[in-house]
Amino acid sequence: MPQGSAPSTRSRPTVLIALAAGFLALRLGLLAYDARHPPRDGGLVNWRSAEGAEAAATAEHKPLLYDFSADWCGPCRQMEREVFADARVAAIINAGYIAVRITDQDSTLAGTSVRDRFDLDSLPTLLVVHPGTKSPWRLQGYHGKRRTISFLERASRALQAGDDQ
Amino acid sequence: MIGSVVWALMCATWRERLSRPLVIGIYVVLCASQVMMAVAGRELSTPVLAITLIFGAGIVGRDVSSGTLALVFTRPVQRSTYVIAKWLAAGTAASGLSMTTVVVQAVVLASRGAGVPGAEIVDMLAESLTLAFGLSSLVVLFSVLVPGIGDVGLWLLLISLGQFAGSRVPLRVAEEWRALLLPSLTWSATLGSSPVAWLPLVSYASTVAGCLCLATLAANRKELSYASG
């Protein structure tokens, strides 16, 4: 350093670069691992398509549970593994709801019409809707097993009492 | 040595940002309205997004525009240290205010007989903490790139772009865009789940580290004068 000149303030952020590169590499590795190890398809819930689901809900006097998901969506896969593959939760859903899964690949008229009607903009999204009520119960994103179960129970209780959200 | 410099810069940022009565008034109104909304809706909510944006607006850009940054760098302060200190100052202030608001909401709801389950409180606190630090890293990056309070303008523009293009681009692109602009975590879906979900944790860390790294590299390339803006 020449005499009298100020020391440089621009040192290379080596630690930050290493951290950023390391986390990025780990992220890509985990994404690749996740893609190679998909959850068991469908879990234990009796999912059906959107076609005729509303008529079935009306006939059976049950609310509809819409699950909007996608293969590439990490939180959707986590919800599949932790919630829908749990026998107790699956029993609650199968007994109390008409469960409908709509993926981003679903291009059927019924599927796209449901997506448009509920203004879907985030995955995963769970919607509980009774054919007779105006507004659905909505849970956007995956917030863990306990909160998802709590949402399903609250929505079910409220719909039985005739409340909209 | 670096620790004391970081601490001094953080204290200076807090003093500058939290000393004006108007700004304090805005924070109080924001937090109080969140508590009232929680009481009305019987559900917790966090003001972290608004608080982080208000606190972070021009966190570096205003120092550049006013010429303060050139003065700061007449001392032996590394630019990386300055960037980290600004990020920590914004993250701690925004998370502290938001988490306090969430705790107040939980106490008020419990006192009215509408207690919220502990897991939901922990989730909301974790979201406040992680969104505050995640969004702060992004705001610091934008603040290095654009002068004044253009950082928040740039963030709003990008998030609006995502909203506008949401129905025209594949859902996956819209999701990734949102995750990039709103980096946050929930406790129950990450460390609280069994087994621990590492992907969201690593993705979050990658976004924050990437933003801070880019912010430092951009700051290193910046030429400063006493009236840079």
% of chain B with per-residue pLDDT over 90: 57
Q: Measure in Å the smallest separation between the Cα of A72 and chain B Cα atoms.
A: 8
Q: Is residue B160 within 8 angstroms of chain A, CB to CB?
A: no
Cβ proximity of A122 and A141 under 8 Å:
yes
Whether A11 maps to a domain, the answer reads no
Task: Give the minimum alpha-carbon distance from A9 to chain B in angstroms, rounded to a whole number.
Answer: 4
CB within 8 Å: B209 and A20? yes
Distance between CA A36 and CA A58 in Å, rounded? 40
Residue-wise pLDDT tens digits, B175-214: 888 889 999 988 888 887 777 888 889 999 999 999 999 9
Structure tokens at B211: 């933003």
**How many whole angstroms separate alpha carbon A48 and alpha carbon A102?**
9
Alpha-carbon span A41 to A25, nearest angstrom:
28
CA A143 to chain CA centroid, Å, is 9
CA distance A146 to A38: 22
Kindly give the interhelix angle for B198-221 and B118-145, rounded to the nearest 10 degrees: 20
Residue contact A142–B217, C-beta within 8 A: no
Q: Does A130 map to a domain?
A: yes
> Residues 54 to 113 of B: which have CB under 8 A from any A CB?
73-74, 76-80
Find chain A residues with C-beta within 8 A of B209's C-beta.
Answer: 16, 19-20, 23
Domain assignment present for B12: yes
Residue B32 inside a domain? The answer is yes
The minimum CA-CA distance between A62 and chain B, rounded to whole Å, is: 26
Q: Do B171 and A17 touch (CB under 8 A)?
A: no
- What is the residue range of B96's domain? 2-221
Q: Partners of A139 in the beta sheet?
A: A126
Q: How far, in Å, are B57, B112, B122, B123 from residue B32 at the CA level?
A: 21, 17, 20, 21
Residue B171 or residue B204, greater confidence:
B204
Separation between Cα atoms, residue A131 and residue A61, nearest integer Å: 9
Domain count, chain A: 1
In a domain, B76, yes or no: yes
User: For all residues of chain B together, what is the average pLDDT?
Assistant: 89
Q: CA torsion angle for B131, B218, A18, B90 (degrees, to 10)?
A: -30
pLDDT value, residue A38: 72
Q: For residues B39 and B37, what is the distance between their CA atoms, to the nearest angstrom?
A: 5
Contact: B171, A70; criterion CB under 8 Å? yes
Buried b (16+ CB within 10 A) or exposed e, A123-144: bbbbbbbbbebeebbbbeebbb
pLDDT tens-place string over residues B14-60? 998 888 888 899 999 999 999 999 888 888 889 999 999 999 999 99
Tell me whether residue B229 is in a domain: no
**Contact call for residues A147 and B192 (beta carbons, < 8 A):** no
Q: Please report how the helices B21-41 and B48-56 are oriented relative to each other, as an axis angle in degrees rounded to 10.
A: 170
pLDDT of the residue at B166: 67
In a 10 Å sphere around its CB, with 0-12 CB exposed, 13-18 middle and 19+ buried, how is residue B195 labelled? exposed
Closest CA to B43 of A27, A129, A165, A79: A165
Probe site for chain A from B185, B202, B208, B214 (most A CB atoms < 10 A) = B202
Residues of A whose CB is below 8 A from B166: 121
DSSP annotation string for B148-172? TTHHHHHHHHHHHHHHHHTTTS-HH
Cβ contact A145:B188 at 8 Å: yes
- Residue ranges of chain A whose pLDDT lies below 70: 1-7, 39-43, 132-134, 160-165
User: Are B167 and B188 a contacting pair, CB within 8 Å?
Assistant: no
> What ranges make up the beta strands (E) of A58-124?
64-69, 98-103
> What pLDDT shows up at residue A163?
55
Contact B133, B96 (CB under 8 A): no
Cα(A19)–Cα(B206) distance, integer angstroms: 8
* Contact pairs from chain A to chain B, CB under 8 Å: 100
Residue A18, in any domain of the structure? no
H or E segment at A127?
strand A125-129
Nearest to A144, CA basis, from B129, B122, B187: B187
Two structure tokens written together for B209: 């580290």
> In this complex, do B213 and A13 lie within 8 Å of one another by their Cβ atoms?
yes
* Mean pLDDT of all residues in B65-87: 90
Q: Which residue has the higher pLDDT, B138 or A6?
A: B138
Tokens coding A2: 């020449």
Domain membership of residue A116 (yes or no) is yes
For residue B228, being part of any structural domain is answered with: no
Task: Please give the Cα distance from B93 to B85 (Å, whole number).
Answer: 12
Cβ contact, residue pair B210, A121, below 8 Å: no
Q: Which of A20, A70, A142 sits opposite B189 (nearest CB)?
A: A142
Please tell me the predicted confidence (pLDDT) of residue B203.
93
**pLDDT attached to residue A1:** 43
Query: Cis peptide leading into A124, omega within 30 of 0?
Result: yes
Please indicate if any CB of chain A lies within 8 Å of the CB of B195. Answer: no
Query: Does B98 map to a domain?
Result: yes
User: Is A81 part of a structural domain of the chain?
Assistant: yes
Asked whether residue B112 is assigned to any structural domain, the reply reads yes
Q: A10 and B220 in contact (C-beta within 8 Å)?
A: yes
Query: Contacts of residue A6 in chain B, CB cutoff 8 Å?
Result: 74, 76
The two beta strands, A64-69 and A137-140, are unpaired
Q: Please give, rounded to a whole number of angstroms, the shortest distance from the CA of A15 to a CA of chain B.
A: 9
Q: What CATH code is carried by the domain that includes residue A132?
A: 3.40.30.10
In a domain, A15, yes or no: no
Q: Which residues, listed in sequence order, are joined to residue A126 by a DSSP beta bridge?
A: A67, A139
Query: Which residue in A1, A5, A9, A105 has the most chain B C-beta atoms within 10 A of its own C-beta, making it the best mutation to test that interface?
Result: A9
As for how many domains chain B has, the answer is: 1
CB contact under 8 A, A74 and B117: no
* Phi, psi at B194, each rounded to 5°: -125, 115
